[in-house]
Structure 1
Amino acid sequence: MAIRPIIKFPNPLLNMATNAVNQFDEDLQRLADDLVETMRAAPGIGITAAHIGILKRVTVIELDRESGPRVFVNPEIVWRSGQTARHSEGSVSMPGVSEDVERPACVRVRYQTLLGETREEEASGLMAVCLQHEIDQLDGLFWTRRLSRLKRERAVKRFEKMRAAAVD
């Protein structure tokens, strides 16, 4: 397992859709393990392969260490509730910046395991937020694009200021 470098906003790879995984092998397991280590080191509760510059449809989510990490390969949302909820979101590729995002409160997701088995499950609360956030990223939709233009511009300016201050 290795901690991989995380690409930072506004890297164009963050706006690219990822490719479906077709091989369920040791390389995929190694990628998942590296994503877990990288996410924990960031620190974060979710990360995609795109965050480390690999355009494969893989995400890892760990809401708490007790429950452990969950790996979702080729995830897709197959149902969204009509009810919405607001939650503070951010990204390991834009550390230090967060904003409230409104999303469906519940979703049903179809995905594959590291062994290639297809599963479907419903999620609500923080898991629903994370799944939607990470699947957006896998689709090339960086989280700030879910914000109003004004909030997006404010978030980008805050991040640019923080990056400039870190360089000085």
Structure 2
Amino acid sequence: MICEVLHYPDSRLAEKSKPVEEITKEIKELAAAMTETMYKEEGIGLAAPQVGKLHRLVVIDVSGPEVRNELMTLINPVIVSAEGSCDSEEGCLSVPGYRSKIKRSETVVVKAQDLEGNDVTIEADGLLAICLQHELDHLDGILFIDKMSRLKRSLYDKKVKKWLKR
């Protein structure tokens, strides 16, 4: 089932998600729907708040777009270490039609649970590290545009206001 992806400036995107207390049938169904939505939208990651659900749940697959074979479903993910710094050109399904350079950590270690409740540890660099940071930011109500300079952000906000008036 395809989910509706919320778009900025929807205030729900700024809310902080709550931990998943139990991996229920509903959580598994949400993860499957998020995965289907991410693939349909040709994204590489999607967080539950982007579809209006305030759960600490993300799906990520950086293998695409032609082949999709590295799906990760992470429940209650936390970055336990981050090192280095890099510039990353980012976009977002919740901020359609806009990309900007953002400073991110070069490498991260993330701990989470999978859909079966098993503990997982992911050591990542490159695109996966950037995607993990981006999606985990969503769980705390942070969009990549929140990390831009004030000037770039104000220019973007002016564009959004024009779009909303149409």
TM-score normalized by the length of structure 1: 0.91
Q: Which residue of 2 aligns with 1:12?
A: 11
Query: Is residue 94–residue 159 contact of structure 1 (8 Å, CA) maintained in 2?
Result: no
Query: Is residue 75–residue 135 contact of structure 1 (8 Å, CA) maintained in 2?
Result: yes
Q: Which residue of 2 aligns with 1:57?
A: 56
Q: Which residue of 2 aligns with 1:87?
A: 88
1:141, CA displacement in angstroms? 1.1
- 1:142 matched to 2:160: no
Q: Which amino acid aligns with 1:15?
A: A
Q: Which residue of 1 aligns with 2:126?
A: 125
Q: Which residue of 2 aligns with 1:72?
A: 74
User: Percent identity over the alignment?
Assistant: 33
Q: Which amino acid aligns with 1:113?
A: D
- Cα deviation code 1:78-121 (max 9, x no counterpart): 0010x211111121111110101011100000111001111112
Query: What is the SS of the residue equivalent to 1:22?
Result: coil
Distance 1:160 1:92, change over 3 A: farther
Query: What is the SS of the residue equivalent to 1:109?
Result: strand
In structure 1, C-alpha distance between the alignment counterparts of 2:27 and 2:118, rounded to whole Å = 14
1:162, CA displacement in angstroms? 5.1
Q: Which amino acid aligns with 1:37?
A: E
In structure 2, C-alpha distance between the alignment counterparts of 1:126 and 1:163, rounded to whole Å = 32
Distance 1:163 1:46, change over 3 A: farther
- Cα deviation code 1:52-78 (max 9, x no counterpart): 100000001111234232111100100
Distance 1:10 1:137, change over 3 A: same
Q: Which residue of 2 aligns with 1:107?
A: 108
The unaligned stretches of length 5 or more in structure 2 are: none
In structure 2, C-alpha distance between the alignment counterparts of 1:87 and 1:34, rounded to whole Å = 28
1:11, CA displacement in angstroms? 0.8
Q: Which residue of 1 aligns with 2:47?
A: 48
Aligned Cα root-mean-square deviation (Å)? 1.5
